[in-house]
Structure 1
Amino acid sequence: MKSIRYIFWGLVALCLIVLGLANRGFVTLRLLPEPLARLFGFTGETSLPLYLVILLGVALGLLIGFVWEWLREYRFRADARMRQREIERLEREIDRLRADRVERDEVVALAPGGSTAVATR
């Protein structure tokens, strides 16, 4: 199984290297279109290799997708936390009731003519 994983990641690395070598040319990225840049007096441009632009775009898309999914699943996580707190509360109550039952059994057993059997409802 590990060998399959290493082969997969090796192929991914090879594809990224080929992508980088094929797209080494620099491109200019602008924050604003030309008319708006002249209007505001702020160009906000940079030159980066094309492969870096592609990889950053993919990484940004993944990040936005992860955050979106995390926000979408908030109600499920909140519901699970609420249910877990309820389970813990009920388990504490069960432990307390069992302890009370054991104490009553011992008292009944010590009483003259007492029995260890406890009537259950």
Structure 2
Amino acid sequence: MRYIRYASIAIFALALISIALANRQMVTVKVLPEELAVFSAMNPSVQMPLFLVIFGGIIAGLLVGFIWEWMREHKHRAEARRKHGEVKQLERELRRVKGQRDEGKDEVLALLDEAS
């Protein structure tokens, strides 16, 4: 299974290198389109290779997806946290009740009952 993972990573890396080598030409990335830049006093632009724009878009999309999913699953995590606290409280109550039940017994018998 480990070899399949390494092979998948190698194929993915080769694909990314191939995309980077095929898209080395420089492009101008602007913040606003020319029509909207007329209304603002500035329109910064940057010259960078096309593959950086592609990879940046992929990374930005992944980040947005991860954040979206994290926010969507918040209710499930909160419910699990609440249930975990409830279980801990019930375990403490069970230990207390068993302690009261075994109050007058021999210590060895109480330990054996507690183990079962």
Specify the structure having the higher radius of gyration (Cα).
1
Gaps of at least 5 residues in structure 2 are: 107-116
Structure 1 residue 46 corresponds to structure 2 residue 42:
no
| Secondary structure class of the residue paired with 1:40 | coil
- Shift of residue 38, structure 1, vs aligned partner: 2.5
User: Who is 1:99 aligned against?
Assistant: 99
Aligned AA (1:26): M
Cα deviations by residue, 1:41-93 (Å, 9 ceiling, x for unpaired)? 11121111111111110111011000000000000000000000000000000
Q: TM-score, normalised by structure 1?
A: 0.83
Aligned AA (1:33): P
- Shift of residue 37, structure 1, vs aligned partner: 1.5
RMSD: 1.1
User: Who is 1:61 aligned against?
Assistant: 61
The CA distance in 2 between the partners of 1:21 and 1:93, in whole Å, is: 65
The CA distance in 2 between the partners of 1:3 and 1:75, in whole Å, is: 37
Higher relative contact order by CA 8 Å / sep ≥ 6: 1 or 2?
A: 2
User: Who is 2:11 aligned against?
Assistant: 11
The CA distance in 2 between the partners of 1:72 and 1:102, in whole Å, is: 47
Gaps of at least 5 residues in structure 1 are: 107-121
The CA distance in 2 between the partners of 1:28 and 1:75, in whole Å, is: 43
- Shift of residue 96, structure 1, vs aligned partner: 0.3
User: Who is 1:118 aligned against?
Assistant: none
User: Who is 1:80 aligned against?
Assistant: 80
The CA distance in 2 between the partners of 1:62 and 1:54, in whole Å, is: 13
- Shift of residue 3, structure 1, vs aligned partner: 1.6
| Secondary structure class of the residue paired with 1:48 | strand
Identical positions, percent = 44
User: Who is 1:119 aligned against?
Assistant: none
Aligned AA (2:2): K
